[in-house]
Chain A
């Protein structure tokens, strides 16, 4: 159920982001989804890729600070009100969302949202009960 997201610490210096993405593409890793959270001094680049384990190795070899985080991916076109309905569902279950970001698949005309919550099991349970489509890890990696 859970998807391995790669988080990379990047200092706010010119060229840092592009160096990371180039390193991944040079090693045959495709990026499925991406988001950046940044402050004045640093940013955190969050990636969903086709092969998280390999991506992690490659990045560590290049002295990047990397961590793997379990996140949830849901489809949001299946239900009316999509995203806000999902938020309501988590809110009612008392689960706070640390952050989230959306992405679109190439093949289908479908939007997905990556959710990072404080309690994955509880969140999955709540979302399932309310009939949200939760993507399997392989589905996302092979998208």
Chain B
């Protein structure tokens, strides 16, 4: 039997849901127009006023927001509430320019935690459960989001944060954790460590896992389920929209139900911006219907996705999204960190290298690896091995400062990195992240 956190919403008829969304959208557009001059300007430029938005059918009239807008408006430009009413920020990693800082009122924190509570309940979580949260805590949304959801459900919450795997396993066994929340690659790593330690999944009480914040495949799902003896569920979200819990997987494990009473989803053509009919593959766009402090309207996620309203066996009527099938930009997610090749390019130029490089991303022993091949210039060449290794080290450190993750830099001969006509191939992603 399916469990619901909020059956009324999760199983609401399409008609009632639309009515709720329409009402919320109209109020939200008014709130944003009156309180966010940045978005008001975008609307004015397009000649749209809040009066033009009478229902979700009019949503397409509104301008999009992109990461570039967030960058330009950083840090307060999209804030819709006075700071005195805000109680929290969360942030993505990365440089100032690419970093997203999202603000929350208490109401916003509550609705976010509520969304996470729905996700935990959907995988069978109740107040009888012991929920181990092994996502990072702090600015990253993973830990705080699931932590809050777990509290709401009434689980005994183990706020482990990520890392220190042996301690994770000790708490998991000693305190009988039943639900594990972390990134899928960390779940796989815990599974391997268990095996090395000679602990069988039968010795654990774990029954379910909620894994998100990075792309993963059905094959990874099967491996994790086997190594941990659990059912593994996906969860979706991004800091821009609140964090994990925007969408969550149910027992059917065939896509993620979007909490569409809070987040209105559209699929658009990434090139033209045109809204595509249901069932089309395109870029996922979210409109926050209820957030107060940081209510993004028509935010382009760059995730390529398909939505479906096919009846789900769990009984939920919430629209479902598939696992993201790729990106409409060149963003990479490496060890849970968002990485744009342009960030690496900027460092290269600053350090006096030519912007000829090849980024190789792979996954070894369930950990993402980042190798960057950079062409050596005559000026950078010294005739000692030590001299070249120092250059590689310096460059790796400079990149680490910007990205927050440690790359391996390889200096290579000039002109040895293939030039392609038109768009250069800068990234080789050897991980199999999409089925």
Q: Which residues of A contact B (CB under 8 A)?
A: 5, 7, 9-11, 37-39, 41-42, 44, 46, 63-67, 69, 98-99, 116
Residue of B nearest to A64 (CB): B413
Decide if A67 touches B381 in the complex (CB within 8 Å): yes
Interchain Cβ contacts within 8 Å, total number: 48
B355 interface hit (Cβ, 8 Å): no
Decide if B414 touches A44 in the complex (CB within 8 Å): no
B361-383 to A contact mask, C-beta < 8 Å, 1/0: 00000000000000011100111
Complex CA–CA separation, A46 to B384 (angstroms):
10
Decide if A44 touches B383 in the complex (CB within 8 Å): yes
Complex CA–CA separation, A116 to B384 (angstroms):
10
Decide if B383 touches A46 in the complex (CB within 8 Å): yes
Residues in A neighbouring B389, C-beta threshold 8 A = 39
* Size bracket, chain B contacts: 10 to 19
Decide if A63 touches B413 in the complex (CB within 8 Å): yes
Residues in B neighbouring A99, C-beta threshold 8 A = 384
Residues in A neighbouring B413, C-beta threshold 8 A = 9-11, 63-65
Q: Which residues of B contact A (CB under 8 A)?
A: 376-378, 381-385, 388-389, 410-416
20 more A-B residue pairs beyond the given contacts A9-B376, A67-B378, with a C-beta to C-beta distance below 8 A: A9-B381, A9-B411, A9-B413, A10-B413, A11-B413, A11-B416, A37-B385, A39-B385, A42-B388, A42-B412, A44-B383, A44-B384, A44-B385, A44-B388, A63-B413, A64-B413, A65-B377, A65-B381, A66-B381, A98-B384
> Which 4 A-B residue pairings sit nearest by Cβ, starting from the closest?
A7-B383, A65-B381, A69-B383, A63-B415
- Say how far A117's CB is from chain B's closest CB, in angstroms: 12
Complex CA–CA separation, A24 to B378 (angstroms):
19
From A41, A46, A63, give the contact of B414 (CB < 8 A).
Answer: A63
Interface SS of chain A:
strand
Point out which of A5, A41, A46 has the most chain B C-beta atoms below 10 A from its C-beta: A41
- Say how far B416's CB is from chain A's closest CB, in angstroms: 7
Complex CA–CA separation, A40 to B413 (angstroms):
15
Residues in B neighbouring A38, C-beta threshold 8 A = 385
Complex CA–CA separation, A124 to B233 (angstroms):
72
Q: List 19 A-B contacts (CB under 8 A).
A: A7-B383, A9-B376, A9-B411, A11-B416, A37-B384, A37-B385, A39-B385, A41-B410, A42-B411, A44-B384, A44-B385, A44-B388, A63-B413, A63-B414, A63-B415, A65-B376, A66-B378, A67-B382, A116-B383
Residues in B neighbouring A44, C-beta threshold 8 A = 383-385, 388
Residues in B neighbouring A69, C-beta threshold 8 A = 383
Complex CA–CA separation, A69 to B416 (angstroms):
24
Residues in B neighbouring A98, C-beta threshold 8 A = 384
Residues in A neighbouring B377, C-beta threshold 8 A = 65
Complex CA–CA separation, A136 to B350 (angstroms):
42
Residue of B nearest to A38 (CB): B385
Complex CA–CA separation, A41 to B415 (angstroms):
17
Residue of B nearest to A10 (CB): B413
Complex CA–CA separation, A69 to B387 (angstroms):
14
Residues in A neighbouring B383, C-beta threshold 8 A = 5, 7, 44, 46, 67, 69, 116
- Say how far B434's CB is from chain A's closest CB, in angstroms: 31
Point out which of A5, A65, A67 has the most chain B C-beta atoms below 10 A from its C-beta: A65
Complex CA–CA separation, A11 to B373 (angstroms):
12
Residue of B nearest to A7 (CB): B383
- Say how far B144's CB is from chain A's closest CB, in angstroms: 41
Residues in A neighbouring B415, C-beta threshold 8 A = 63
Residue of A nearest to B375 (CB): A65
- Say how far B384's CB is from chain A's closest CB, in angstroms: 6
- Say how far B358's CB is from chain A's closest CB, in angstroms: 13
Residue of B nearest to A99 (CB): B384
Decide if B414 touches A65 in the complex (CB within 8 Å): yes
